[in-house]
């Protein structure tokens, strides 16, 4: 798939596929899932509905592309926390970035992990390669902590999966409105939970 030869005939258009994905993500974020329809999307991107079908095959294809785009943005957002000389603090800051990204793009997050549906079509999910890259981010953070000796040596993938599960579950329950039943304010639940997970793996002489 070679890109278009950059014929910027006008500033209004890039390649239509890219524009459709970005407009779909924007509509999803600003107006919610029920506003994302083929006609609405085509209108926002300045094309007709057929462009959607030549590029994505169906609205399900659009959803999968948007989910993949969501994982790419998540990766960038988490990557932006950088690396300090304290790998455990870095993990905590990665978790904070993960949560912030979810709260600011709740509908996009729902599509990424939804597995459920969006406007009726429910998609097989994002590109597994991109989703895996998001997970590898956490694996790398855990591996650095192990290398630095602040976590017991072990399989970083298994530990990262635990960390991710706990973080993801907290965020998903928060998005589902469970803060109404548990309250919290990220003080007595989120940080202690992650701290407990990491403390159980710390090389303190017991």
**Binding region for its own copies (CB under 8 A):** 32-34, 106-107, 110-111, 113-122, 124-125, 128, 131-132, 135, 155, 157-158, 161-162, 164-173, 175-178, 180-184, 188-190, 192-193, 195-197, 199-201, 204, 206
Q: Could you tell me the smallest distance in angstroms from the CB atom of residue 104 to its own copies?
A: 15
| Contact (CB, 8 A) for 119 and 33 | yes
Name the segment binding DNA (CB under 7 A); options: 47-55, 76-84, 125-133, 156-164: 47-55
Name the segment binding DNA (CB under 7 A); options: 34-42, 78-86, 144-152, 160-168: 34-42
Name the segment binding DNA (CB under 7 A); options: 43-51, 107-115, 132-140, 198-206: 43-51
Q: What is the DSSP string of the chain?
A: -PPP----S-TT-S-HHHHHHHHHHHHHHHH-GGG--HHHHHHHHTS-HHHHHHHHSSHHHHHHHHHHHHHHHHHHHHHTT---S-HHHHHHHHHHHHHHHHHHTHHHHHHHHH-S-BTTB--S-S-HHHHHHHHHHHHHHHHHHHHTTSS-SS-HHHHHHHHHHHHHHHHHHHHTTTHHHH---STTTHHHHHHHHHHTTS----
The one of its own copies, DNA, none whose footprint includes residue 113, by CB under 5 to 8 A per kind, is its own copies
Closest to DNA by CB, 52 or 131: 52
| Contact (CB, 8 A) for 123 and 67 | yes
Q: Could you tell me the smallest distance in angstroms from the CB atom of residue 107 to its own copies?
A: 7
Assess 31 for contact with DNA (CB under 7 A): no
| Contact (CB, 8 A) for 124 and 68 | no
The one of DNA, its own copies, none whose footprint includes residue 29, by CB under 5 to 8 A per kind, is none
Closest to its own copies by CB, 17 or 67: 67
Closest to DNA by CB, 87 or 123: 123
Q: Which residues of the shown chain bind DNA in the complex (CB under 7 A)?
A: 16, 36-40, 42, 46-55, 58-60, 119-121
């Amino acid at each position: 798939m070679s890109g278009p030869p950059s014929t910027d005939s006008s500033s209004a258009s890039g390649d239509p596929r890219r524009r459709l994905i970005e407009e779909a993500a924007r509509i999803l974020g600003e107006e919610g899932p029920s506003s994302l329809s083929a006609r609405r999307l085509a209108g926002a991107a300045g094309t007709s509905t057929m462009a959607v079908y030549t590029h994505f095959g169906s609205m399900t294809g659009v959803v999968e592309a948007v989910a993949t785009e969501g994982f790419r943005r998540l990766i960038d957002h988490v990557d932006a926390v950088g690396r300090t000389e304290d790998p455990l603090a870095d993990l905590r800051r990665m978790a904070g970035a993960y949560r912030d990204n979810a709260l600011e793009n709740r509908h996009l997050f729902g599509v990424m992990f939804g597995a459920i549906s969006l406007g009726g079509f429910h998609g097989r999910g994002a590109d597994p390669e991109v989703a895996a890259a998001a997970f590898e981010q956490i694996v790398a953070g855990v591996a650095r902590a192990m290398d630095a000796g602040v976590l017991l040596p072990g399989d970083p993938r298994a530990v990262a999966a635990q960390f991710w599960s706990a973080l993801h579950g907290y965020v998903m329950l928060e998005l589902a409105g469970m803060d109404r039943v548990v309250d919290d304010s990220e003080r007595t639940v989120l940080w202690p939970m992650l701290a407990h997970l990491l403390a159980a793996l710390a090389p303190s002489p017991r």
